[in-house]
């Protein structure tokens, strides 16, 4: 079945381009058949333009066969039926060009024309059988599985960033010395930056986590400022200001912990496994 003129795959389109070139080449055997000639001379002025046109098509045909092989590799890897049909067609074209390159083109070129037509039909049929399911679906499935693997990687990195931020927040609330608290605040702020890093794929609860990370940043900065004031008060006015400033530190510490605890629960989804299962199901439905 000839699928030229219909909306086909990229493989079909390249085959159609080769078939288009063959309509030029077919003029040689068609002319011999029409005029009932047993041979044509390629140097005959009457036929010079015909043979010139055929030779002009040769580089285009060679180029399209190269494209055809690339398309097959890209879509179906080692599809022996398709590869065999392409090789057969390529050899027929090669033989055809040898014949029309001779000074005297013999009547047997008509047989080559018939064989090439049959070879085109076979290639279209094989491609149609495959494209109804395996060709397109196998290629799409491979792409979807690769993408799903990347989604899983992004998801895991994001969940780890949230976990590290929560742990850093807990350590801030547990620290009892001002130097320890300051160190842990720095770690916490760095961790929120990891949560806020852009990701390549959307992740469940990502927006909510970003909002919590922003609030943590603000609360951590507020805690650090109150801690600095408390430390300064120990030297300047330890009896008058320090107790109240210490209370503010504890309140800010508690507030920060409350925000850290507000991260939504995150669960890993195995997107790659889902894509594989979907691929198997699609193939089974073919």
- What Rg value do the Cα atoms of the chain yield, rounded? 37
Q: Which of 172, 207, 174, 203 is nearest to 189 (CA)?
A: 172
Answer whether residue 162 shows pLDDT above 70: yes
For residues 128 and 157, membership in a common domain is answered with no
Helix (H) or strand (E) holding 39: strand 39-41
Beta bridge partners of 106: 39
How many whole angstroms separate alpha carbon 186 and alpha carbon 190?
6
7 confidence band (pLDDT: 50, 70, 90): very low
Count up the domains in the chain and report the number.
2
Residue pLDDT, tens place only, 25-35: 888 888 888 88
For residues 165 and 119, membership in a common domain is answered with no
pLDDT at 3: 54
For residues 37 and 121, membership in a common domain is answered with yes
Average of per-residue pLDDT values in the chain: 80
Residue where a domain terminates, one of 97, 132, 167: 132
Residue pLDDT, tens place only, 210-257: 999 999 999 999 998 988 888 888 887 777 778 888 889 889 888 999
Answer whether residue 181 shows pLDDT above 50: yes
For residues 99 and 195, membership in a common domain is answered with no
Answer whether residue 78 shows pLDDT above 50: no
* DSSP assignment string, 183-238: HHHHHHHHHHHHHHS--SS--TTHHHHHHHHHHHHHHHHHHHHHHHHHHHHHHH-T
Residue where a domain terminates, one of 132, 166, 188: 132
User: What is the domain-level CATH number for residue 257?
Assistant: 1.20.120
């Amino acid at each position: 079945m000839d699928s030229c003129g219909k909306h086909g795959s990229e493989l079909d389109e390249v085959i159609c381009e080769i078939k288009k070139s063959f309509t030029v080449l077919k003029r040689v055997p068609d002319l011999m058949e029409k005029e009932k000639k047993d041979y044509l001379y390629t140097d005959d002025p009457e036929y010079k333009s015909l043979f010139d046109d055929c030779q002009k098509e040769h580089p285009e045909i060679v180029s399209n066969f190269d494209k055809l092989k690339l398309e097959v590799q890209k879509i179906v890897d080692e599809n022996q039926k398709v590869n065999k049909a392409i090789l057969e067609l390529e050899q027929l074209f090669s033989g055809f060009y040898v014949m029309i390159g001779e000074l005297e083109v013999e009547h047997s070129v008509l047989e080559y024309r018939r064989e090439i037509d049959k070879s085109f039909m076979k290639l279209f049929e094989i491609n149609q059988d495959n494209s109804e399911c395996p060709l397109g679906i196998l290629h799409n499935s491979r792409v979807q599985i690769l993408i799903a693997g990347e989604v899983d990687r992004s998801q895991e990195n994001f969940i780890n960033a949230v976990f590290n931020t929560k742990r850093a927040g807990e350590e801030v609330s547990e620290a009892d010395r001002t130097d320890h608290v300051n160190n842990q605040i720095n770690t916490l702020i760095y961790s929120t930056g990891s949560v806020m890093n852009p990701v390549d794929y959307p992740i469940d609860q990502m927006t909510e986590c970003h909002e919590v990370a922003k609030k943590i940043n603000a609360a951590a900065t507020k805690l650090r400022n109150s801690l600095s004031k408390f430390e300064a008060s120990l030297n300047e006015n330890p009896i008058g200001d320090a107790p109240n400033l210490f209370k503010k530190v504890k309140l800010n510490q508690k507030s920060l912990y409350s925000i850290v605890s507000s991260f939504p629960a995150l669960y890993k989804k195995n997107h790659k496994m889902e894509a594989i299962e979907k691929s198997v199901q699609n193939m089974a439905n073919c």
